[in-house]
Structure 1
Amino acid sequence: MREVVHARGHENVSAEHGSTFEITTDDWLTPAGDCILAVEADRAPTAFADAFVDACRNRDATIRATLTATTDEGDTHTATIVGRGHPELSFENERSHVGRTSDYVDDRTVLVDADAAAADLDRDLVDALAAGADLRVELAVEPADGGMA
C-alpha cells in the first residue's frame, strides 16, 4: 500500500539534520529548519487512508520513503529511506511528515528507525531542492508478513 505526497523545494533547504527528515505543508522555511526537505506539501498525514495507517502500526512493518526531486530542466534525483512502523504512529498531524532515525514517535512521525536522515541525502538531490525542484514522496508499507499491503 502506498501514499504519495507532492511538495516543492525551497531556497533555505540545507538538509543538515542528522536524525530526521521532514516534508511540510507550510509555504515557508527558515534556515533553522535544517531537517525540512520541501514545503507546500499537498497532503498531510491526516489525509492518509486508514488501511495504510493500520499497516504502519506494526513494529515489524517496513516503510520505504522514496524521494524524487525533479528540476525545471527535467533532471531527476532519487533517494530511498527505509524505516519501520510503530504501534504508536497516529498520522494525526495536519502539517508535517517526519521520518526519524530513532524510535521516538509524535503525531508528525511517519516512520522510525530510518536508515538515513536529511544529512545523509545525496547533495545533488539537496541542491535541486534548494533550487526549488518539485518533490514526490512515495511512502510504501510492507507488512510484517513480507507482502505489500
Structure 2
Amino acid sequence: MNIKEFFKRDNLDEMQKQTLLKIESRGFWVLWVLLLAALIIESLLGFTLREMAAEWFIFMLGCAYAVISDLRAGIWDRRFKPNTKTNAALSVVGGAVILVWGLIKFAEFGMGVAVLLAVFLGVCTWVLCFATLQLTMKAYKKRHAELENPEEDNDENK
C-alpha cells in the first residue's frame, strides 16, 4: 500500500464523519479562544511582543486559514447574516473589548491618559474591524454568487 492509498482509505460511515466534523470544529474553536485568552493575559502581564510572537503568529495563521477556507467554500457563518448592521454590531463588540483591555493596560499612566489611549484604540479597532468585515462580506457575496450561478463553459455551448 502506498501513501496515497493510505490517506484515501475511509473507515467511517456518514454519522461517524458528521460526529468527527463536530469534534474537530469544537476543537478548533476551543483552541482559538484559549490562544486568544493567553495572548490577552500575556499582554496584560507585561510580556513583550517578542515573547508573544509565536502565539500571535499561530493565532493569525489559524484565523487566516478559517477565513480563506470559508470564503472559498462560499460560507459566511452559521448564526450571523452578512450585512452592514451585523458587521457594525460585531465591530462595536471588538472595539469595546479593546477599550476595556486598554483601560486595564494603560491604568499605570493615570486614568486620564488611560481613558484617552483606550478610547483611541477602541475606535481604531472598531473602524478596522468594520472595514475588514465589509470587505470580507463583499468577497463572500461575490464568491457565493459564483457558486450559486456558475458560468457555463463556452466549450459546452459549441
TM-score normalised to the size of structure 1? 0.25
More helix by share: 2
More strand by share: 1
Task: Give the structure, 1 or 2, with the largest relative contact order (CA under 8 Å, sep 6 or more).
Answer: 1
TM-score normalised to the size of structure 2? 0.24
